[in-house]
Chain A
Amino acid sequence: MLGPSGSGKSTLARALAGLMPHTLPGRWEGSLRLDRLEVAETATGRLAEVTGICFQDPEGQLVMSRVEDEVAFGLENRAWSRPRMLRRVPEALAEVGLGGFERRDTARISGGEQQRLAIADVLAPLPGLLVFDEPTAQLDPVGTEAVFERLERLARRRERTIVIVEHRVDAVLPIADRVLILDGEGRQVGFGRPDEVGQAHAETLDRIGGWVPSAWRGWLRTPVDDGPARTEHSRGEQLVACEDLWFSYPRDATDPRPPVLREVGFRLREGERVALVGSNGSGKSTLLLLVAGLLKQSRGRIVLAGGRDPRRLSRRELPHAIGLCFQDPELGFVAPTVREEVAAGLSRSAPGLQAGQVDDALRRFGLEGLAEESPFRLSIGEQRRLSICAATIRQPRLLLLDEPTFGLDRLGSDAVIELLDVHRSSGGAQLLATHDPRLVSRCDRVIALHAGAVRSDGPAAAFLADPPLRPQAPWRLASGSGRVPDLAPVAGR
């Protein structure tokens, strides 16, 4: 299933998983039959036997604390006999490459492993239909590769019908027999064999903001220019210098964890955009928090422009020096309306700033019509723009961003990159943690972290041509597609 954000892909996925209209009520018309059962007239317990769904949030969809219990949970609900469960649980785990994980704690395995566990959960009861809603959206490249490998094997066996909503279009297209395209209003644009749909609708898909598979690019009237952006090397003032940075969590004798960061050193000049890449747990977010002065390094030095230590900045100075945007913009919101969100703290730290300037900023970020809305009611793309708007209203020269394109479709992603370009061209520097190869291709430099240490630091084009991180493949997709996870909140947006 392809389409832009808000096209209803997740909604349709949930309907196919038998969750509508019973569990998620709403107005329901027409007919949906799963295995000859009319969904609207069938009990949810019965539907759970024919269909299963794997969601995008690996941690959020797991129920039990022990891996084997997690797989057994769905079987218990379907009243399987105990001997049958004892046979099936290890079998399902082996099918996703998690053999031997039975006694592990579900909170202490990696995101990729958690997602494969979620796949084992839906596989275990042997439903005829498997639905995957952005199964790799929240995974790092290592986890993504492992999940795709399992999806490919499942598809090749042709035992079950598989429906996948996925933003990594180039990875799923080769295993798809049919493609369904939905437009921004939830209407069906096309359905059929991939090449037929591509030929007929590639242009439409591009126009409505969906990611176009690279195999379909030939059918586009205007070719997409997605190659690495040319970078003029900055020789501006140095805004950040990190030297020999180490960070460990406060530990005691029973905590054997290695340091989160070790011997990290890099510099950042004005006008530079630097991507921070590496697997989950490689220390990217920690490094952002350190540069923002929100954590204290165990060793080493961070120096901002003018020789300042970020931890010594007063509460008035900090927002003028550094802006930070969280991966989940909601966690960063501090005010009840969009306008107040942007104006928060301005009266204290920037009394010179006029209300007119807030309105100006809202206009530039395309938020003027939403000024009185609650930030929590915005779409993910709007939330992301609001978060950047609020972080940049005081024109900090340094902007730190955690996964700024996460959860966005192509239009949303383009809008964010455009806003970042404006900040950079006015002399700003940006350090951003990301898994998005398309965003990396728009950076000047890439710092690759591995297990808390800098693996490489160099021009983005060199990184994308020969990524020093395993697996390399996801980074090479750069010219084909970026990520368009449709974050699709469960409710309330």
Chain B
Amino acid sequence: MSLLPAPLEPIRPALLTRTSPASRLAVAICWLFAALVASSPLVPALLVAVGSIAIALGSGLPLSRIPGRLAPLIVAALGLGVLALIAHPSGADRGVAAIAIIGPVRLTEPALGAALALVLRLGLVAVTTLLVFAVSDATQLADALAQQLRMPDRVTYGTLAALRLAPLLAADWAATGAARRLRGLDGTTPWSLLAGVPGRLLVLLVSAIRRAERVALAMDARGFDTGGPRTRYRPARFAALDLLLLVAGLAAAAAALLAGAALGA
């Protein structure tokens, strides 16, 4: 019985999908590092801008769906930003001029800068996450992790197999809820639903273990990870496009850092 929502849309071919997830991961790490070491909010701002343009032009992602997918991250970033704004130590320092006073809260310029930097850094996390994970399908990512970054096959392809189970478990979860309602255990208010969660989690755990065992057995039956050599059906290779991506990504980080150093002060 499936109470599943619509499936996610498949990857569409675009410029960035032809690059290796491994090189995109390298650029992402480099950008996050640059944003971390720079004090100026200009650095993450520029990188968010560059990343957004790259996503808009080269990712093939349906842009209208992105805000919805990132909603939890956006809410968290804005929440933390507001917290940083009102809880900044300069707010209590009478020597620092206030831009605005809302009740007991004094908003200062350093606080605004800190909050902006925080929100922009989290924004950069979102953008780089999209660049690395949303642009590749899971298979491409697993290939790159196993072959280019030399992660163990058991981890990468095991995770890939586990990912296939996620929608099945979502359906199982819905079924456990339906079962409780039909036995008169849960009502329909959120509060009455809460009581059943531990029991439902147990059922879900049992079902997850059964499914995982079945996949593991199927993998073993097909000779997975027996210690012998393993060949690759689709070798993950770095292409010229990857070199271009790495150079462009590094250049963007360097430019952002320079601009931050020049103007940030």
Interface residues of A (CB under 8 A from B): 14, 17-19, 23-24, 43-45, 48-49, 52-53, 55, 57, 59-66, 68-69, 72-82, 85-86, 89, 105-108, 121-122, 249-252, 254-255, 257, 285, 288-289, 292, 294-295, 314-316, 318-319, 322-324, 326-328, 330-335, 344-345, 348-349, 376, 390-391, 402, 489-492
Contacts and interface: CB of A to CB of B under 8 A. Distances in A.
Contacts of A390: 183
Interface of B: 1-7, 9-10, 62, 65, 137-139, 157, 160-161, 163-164, 167-168, 172, 175-176, 178-188, 192, 196, 199, 203, 206-207, 209-211, 213-215, 217-235
A285 B188 CA distance: 21
A44 B235 contact: no
Given A23-B217, A349-B184, A491-B213, A63 B157 contact: yes
Contacts of A63: 157, 160-161, 164, 215, 218-219, 222, 224
Nearest to A333: B203
Contacts of B157: 63-64, 73
27 contacts: A19-B221, A45-B228, A55-B214, A55-B218, A63-B219, A65-B137, A65-B164, A69-B233, A69-B234, A79-B228, A82-B231, A106-B164, A122-B222, A249-B4, A251-B6, A255-B6, A257-B6, A285-B1, A292-B182, A294-B178, A315-B186, A318-B181, A324-B179, A330-B206, A332-B179, A334-B196, A490-B210
Contact of A289 (B6, B10, B172, B178): B178
| In the A-B complex, the 6 residue pairs with the closest CB atoms | A48-B223, A45-B226, A72-B233, A61-B218, A74-B222, A77-B223
B89 to A, nearest CB: 45
B7 A108 contact: yes
A23 B233 CA distance: 25
Contacts of B211: 60
B192 to A, nearest CB: 8
A74 B199 CA distance: 38
A64 B160 contact: yes
Nearest to A44: B226
Contacts of B207: 328, 330-331
Contacts of A295: 3
Contacts of B6: 249-252, 254-255, 257
Given A65-B164, A326-B175, A390-B183, A19 B217 contact: yes
Given A63-B161, A319-B184, A331-B179, 17 more contacts: A19-B221, A60-B215, A61-B214, A66-B139, A69-B139, A74-B223, A85-B233, A251-B6, A252-B6, A254-B6, A254-B62, A315-B188, A324-B178, A328-B207, A331-B175, A331-B207, A489-B210
Contact of B185 (A23, A44, A80, A344): A344
Nearest to A376: B206
B101 to A, nearest CB: 44
A85 B231 CA distance: 10
Nearest to B189: A315
Nearest to A86: B233
Contact of A315 (B5, B187, B210, B230): B187
A484 to B, nearest CB: 20
Contacts of A252: 6
Nearest to A18: B221
A234 B186 CA distance: 34
Contacts of A492: 209-210
B138 A65 contact: yes
A108 B4 CA distance: 14
Contact of A490 (B161, B199, B217): B217
A252 B6 CA distance: 9
Given A79-B230, A334-B185, A17 B1 contact: no
Nearest to A72: B233
B160 A65 contact: yes
Contacts of A318: 181-182, 184
A18 B225 CA distance: 15
Nearest to A387: B179
A76 B146 CA distance: 13
Nearest to B8: A254
A52 B178 contact: no
B182 A44 contact: no
B72 to A, nearest CB: 19
A292 B192 CA distance: 19
A326 B229 contact: no
Which of B168, B184, B224 is most buried by chain A, counting CB atoms within 10 A of its CB? B184
Contact of B167 (A75, A107, A330): A107
Nearest to B182: A324
Contacts of A68: 233
A18 B220 CA distance: 10
Given A77-B224, A326-B175, A345-B183, A62 B217 contact: no
Given A285-B2, A331-B176, A332-B179, A348 B214 contact: no
A334 B183 contact: yes
A292 B222 contact: no
B204 to A, nearest CB: 9
